[in-house]
Structure 1
Amino acid sequence: MKKNIVLLLVAVTFFISNISFAQTNSYVDEYKGLAKSLSMEFGIPTSIILSIAIVESGAGSSKVAKKLNNHFGIKGKNEVTWSSFKQYTSPEESFRDFCLKMASKKFYLNMKGNADYALWIKKISMTGYSTQPKQWRSKINKTIQKNKLDNEQ
Structure 2
Amino acid sequence: MKKTLFAFTVIILSKFNAQTWKTEDQYIQKFAAYAVEEMEKYQIPASITLAQGLLETGGGQSRLAQQGNNHFGIKCKEDWTGKTMSHTDDAPNECFRVYDDPKESYEDHSKFLKYRKYYQNLFTLDMKDYKAWAHGLKKAGYATNPRYAYILIDKIEKYRLYEFDNTNSKEALFTVLKLYPDLRNDKVFMAQMDQSQVRTKPLTVRVPYEQTSYAKQQQRVEKIKSDAELLQTILVKSHPNGNRKFIVVPADTDLSFIANKFKISESRLMKWNELSATRLQKNDVLFLETKSSEGNTKTYKAQVGETMHDISQKFGIKLSKLYSKNRMSYGEQPRVGQLIYLQQKKPRS
Shorter-chain TM-score range: 0.7 to 0.9
Cα offset, 1:124, TM superposition:
1.1
Q: Which has the higher strand share?
A: 2
After superposition, residues 138-153 of structure 1 pair within 5 angstroms as 138-153=150-165
| Residue 33 (structure 2) pairs with residue 33 (structure 1) | yes
Distance 1:81 1:23 in 2: 25
Distance 2:85 2:113 in 1: 26
TM-score between the two structures when normalised by the length of structure 2:
0.36
Distance 2:155 2:56 in 1: 11
| Residue 105 (structure 2) pairs with residue 94 (structure 1) | yes
Q: Equivalent residue for 2:121?
A: 107
Structure 1 residues 81, 34: CA separation in 2 closer, same or farther (over 3 Å shift)? closer
Distance 1:43 1:144 in 2: 17
Structure 1 residues 44, 81: CA separation in 2 closer, same or farther (over 3 Å shift)? closer
Cα offset, 1:29, TM superposition:
0.8
SS in 2 for 1:131: coil
Distance 2:123 2:24 in 1: 31
Q: Equivalent residue for 2:141?
A: 128
Structure 1 residues 147, 80: CA separation in 2 closer, same or farther (over 3 Å shift)? same
Structure of higher RCO (CA pairs closer than 8 Å, 6+ residues apart): 1
Distance 2:99 2:35 in 1: 17
| Residue 84 (structure 2) pairs with residue 79 (structure 1) | yes
Cα offset, 1:80, TM superposition:
3.0
Structure 1 residues 22, 107: CA separation in 2 closer, same or farther (over 3 Å shift)? same
> Structure 2: which 5+ residue stretches go unaligned?
1-19, 88-92, 166-349
Q: Equivalent residue for 1:6?
A: none
The higher radius of gyration belongs to 2
Q: Which has the higher helix share?
A: 1
Structure 1 residues 68, 106: CA separation in 2 closer, same or farther (over 3 Å shift)? same
Distance 1:37 1:81 in 2: 29
SS in 1 for 2:44: coil
Identity %: 26
| Residue 131 (structure 2) pairs with residue 118 (structure 1) | yes
SS in 2 for 1:80: strand
Structure 1 residues 75, 150: CA separation in 2 closer, same or farther (over 3 Å shift)? same
Cα offset, 1:139, TM superposition:
1.4
> Structure 1: which 5+ residue stretches go unaligned?
1-18
Structure 1 residues 79, 99: CA separation in 2 closer, same or farther (over 3 Å shift)? closer
Amino acid at match of 2:163: N
Distance 2:152 2:123 in 1: 22
User: How big is the alpha-carbon RMSD for the aligned residues of Structure 1 and Structure 2?
Assistant: 1.8
